[in-house]
Chains A and B, each alone.
Chain A
Amino acid sequence: MIKKVLILDAGPIINLSMNGLLEIFEKVYLSGITIVITNYVYQEVVDHPSHIPRFELGALRIKELVEKGVIKFATDIGLAQMEIESETQRWLKIANSSIKSDNHFIEIVSIAEISCIAVSSLLNKKRIENIIGIDERTTRVLFEKPENLRDLMASKLHRNITLYTKDLENTKQFRFIRSSELVFMAYKKKIIEINDKHALEALLYATKFKGCAISWEEIEQLKKM
């Protein structure tokens, strides 16, 4: 019986792997939470880096977590590949038709990130509690506060950006966390046992330096919690 599902995009897996913290996933799994990825995410965290000497070890360790069943494919928990594909394409179209510049929709997200949204959407329909782990900023901002993405792109591109949110209305159903929240939780639950008063800040800094979109200000807030 699946109770809670942590859906992982490539970012947190890469982040925790590079920081030597993959054990967090094992402990989360042992606590009864199901961790899933999609085929697209697997390609990014295992298939592609397997051919790059610098990242090969990380890829192998992630592959082992999948083989051990710590990280499962979304299809292993009763979702059909076809429904994942169809839901992914639906959300991909919505996301990539939401930002327009010079009469041209900008393709802002890729299939890997959106496949996590699709899995979450399917689980929500089945009333299975879930949360998406994603480190990169664009997908998260698009679904949580799209006007911020519009403002960011307008300021960077020096062009008028129009936001189309009609189909983005039902996005409050998605919940997002980052590597920083994962390590915070692991620290508070004593999954990571580093007995030093600076351990928490060190963990948060480590996630930031491996690509987690968290600001220094947010880190300061979390340190005080």
Chain B
Amino acid sequence: MEEVTHVIDVLTRARYALEQEDTKQLRELSDKTIHSASVYQHTDYILVATIIYTLSKIVERKDKIGIKNWNNFIKGVSNLIVLAISSAQRNKHSQFIIFLTKIKHYMENISEDMKPLIEELLRKASINKASKVYEHGISLAKTTKLLGVNPWELSEYIGEKENPQIKLNKTIDAKERMRMAMDFFK
């Protein structure tokens, strides 16, 4: 129940941030959902995180993407968020998922020309969210299964990111591990 309340809160604030075109706030809200996504691993939390992150990227590149009827686009997404929130408040879980999926499709189908671009943004958002789930301590293969991303792509992405928790990754001394390896391959 606490988790549902959290998702409702995140979506409510995301709707406001979208209308304000506040990309920083959208990104932060997306990350907040990752905590729940890592612990409970519900696909809806993951979808919420991916959608909000993609919205932040669309708003950030608004001028470059050049969506016609920008106000209508924002209004359309905002209305679907309201419907998703309402479903969550009434504990209509399957309806909640339907509205989240509708938001994703609405973004993808805003225009035929932009479909590949939006699909690419959604794909990149999934990779970004996957890297966050991995940072939270979930294994790489488990993360790829949860997010539906490719381990090859995720390995490359996390390799290029600086991990602030790297000290906790260290379990035995690097020299000791190397000696063990050299001894094995002797």
Contact = CB atoms under 8 A, between A and B. Distances in A.
Contacts of B41: 106-107
A69 interface: no
Which of B154, B163, B185 has the most chain A CB atoms inside 10 A of its CB?
B185
Interface in B29-51: 35, 38-41
A9 B170 CA distance: 19
Interface string A1-44: 00010100111001100100000000010010100000000001
Contacts of B136: 153, 156-157
Given A52-B152, A152-B168, A225-B175, A107 B142 contact: yes
B110 interface: no
B180 interface: yes
Interface in A100-152: 101-102, 104, 106-113, 129, 131, 135-141, 144-145, 148-149, 151-152
A185 B151 CA distance: 25
A202 interface: no
A208 B144 CA distance: 19
Instruction: Classify chain A: how many residues form its interface, as a range.
Output: 35 or more
B177 A181 contact: yes
B171 A211 contact: no
B181 A181 contact: yes
A156 B38 CA distance: 10
Interface in A175-205: 175-178, 181-182, 184-185, 188-189
B127 to A, nearest CB: 12
A158 interface: yes
A210 interface: yes
Contacts, number: 170
B152 A141 contact: no
B108 to A, nearest CB: 20
Nearest to A104: B39
Contacts of A225: 175, 178
Contacts of B134: 136, 138
A10 B155 CA distance: 10
B140 interface: yes
A222 interface: yes
A15 B171 CA distance: 21
A93 interface: no
Contacts of B169: 137, 141, 148, 152, 213, 215
B90 interface: no
Contact of A131 (B38, B158, B184): B184
A221 interface: yes
A151 B141 contact: no
B165 A156 contact: yes
A15 B174 CA distance: 19
Nearest to B38: A157
A49 B137 CA distance: 24
23 contacts: A11-B140, A14-B152, A18-B155, A44-B141, A54-B153, A58-B152, A107-B142, A109-B141, A135-B140, A136-B139, A138-B134, A138-B139, A145-B172, A148-B169, A148-B171, A152-B137, A152-B165, A155-B165, A177-B180, A181-B181, A185-B185, A209-B160, A210-B156
What are the 9 tightest A-B residue pairs by CB atom distance, in nearest-first order? A211-B155, A136-B140, A144-B171, A138-B139, A181-B181, A110-B141, A218-B174, A153-B137, A145-B171
